[in-house]
Amino acid sequence: MTPASKFAASEARRRFASLVAESDEKINLAHAALLIAEEEEPRGAVVRNLALLGEMGDEARRRVDANPHAVVETLNRFVFGELGFAGDEQNYYDARNSLLTHVLERRVGLPITLSIIYIEIARRAGLYAEGVGLPGHFIVRVRGGAEETLVDPFYDKIIDEDECQERLDGVYGGQVVLTEEHLQAMSARAILVRVLRNLQGVYLNSNSHRQALAVVERILLLAPASPEDRRARGLLLAGANRLHEAVRELQFYLRVAGGANEKEAARQQLNKLHAQLASLN
CATH number at residue 146: 3.10.620
Q: Annotate 85-100 with b (16+ C-beta within 10 A) or e (fewer).
A: bbbbeeeeebbbbbbb
CA distances from 40 to 36, 37, 99, 216 (A): 7, 5, 8, 13
Same domain, residue pair 176 and 242: no
Domain assignment of residue 188, yes or no: no
Same domain, residue pair 132 and 22: yes
Q: Provide mean pLDDT across the span 66-95.
A: 95
Same domain, residue pair 174 and 229: no
Instruction: Note the pLDDT of residue 268.
Output: 87
Same domain, residue pair 233 and 106: no
Partners of residue 87 on adjacent β-strands:
109
Same domain, residue pair 275 and 165: no
pLDDT exceeds 80 at position 281? no
pLDDT tens digits, one per residue of 193-246: 999 999 999 999 999 999 999 999 999 999 998 999 999 999 999 999 999 999
Same domain, residue pair 159 and 250: no
Residue-range definition of the domain harbouring residue 231: 225-280
Same domain, residue pair 35 and 92: yes
Instruction: Note the pLDDT of residue 275.
Output: 86
Domain assignment of residue 215, yes or no: no
Same domain, residue pair 53 and 115: yes
Same domain, residue pair 166 and 253: no
Same domain, residue pair 128 and 264: no
Domain finish residue from 183, 210, 236? 183
Lowest mean pLDDT among 143-157, 182-196, 256-270: 256-270
Q: How confident is the model at residue 260 (pLDDT cuts 50, 70, 90)?
A: low
Q: Provide mean pLDDT across the span 243-270.
A: 85
Domain assignment of residue 78, yes or no: yes
Domain finish residue from 183, 209, 236? 183
Same domain, residue pair 126 and 251: no
Instruction: Note the pLDDT of residue 138.
Output: 97
pLDDT tens digits, one per residue of 115-165: 999 999 999 999 999 999 999 899 999 987 778 999 999 999 999 999 999
- Structural domains in the chain (count): 2
Same domain, residue pair 162 and 264: no
Domain finish residue from 183, 209, 243? 183
Partners of residue 86 on adjacent β-strands:
108
Q: Provide mean pLDDT across the span 81-110.
A: 97
Expressed in angstroms, the distance from the first to the final Cα of the chain is 33
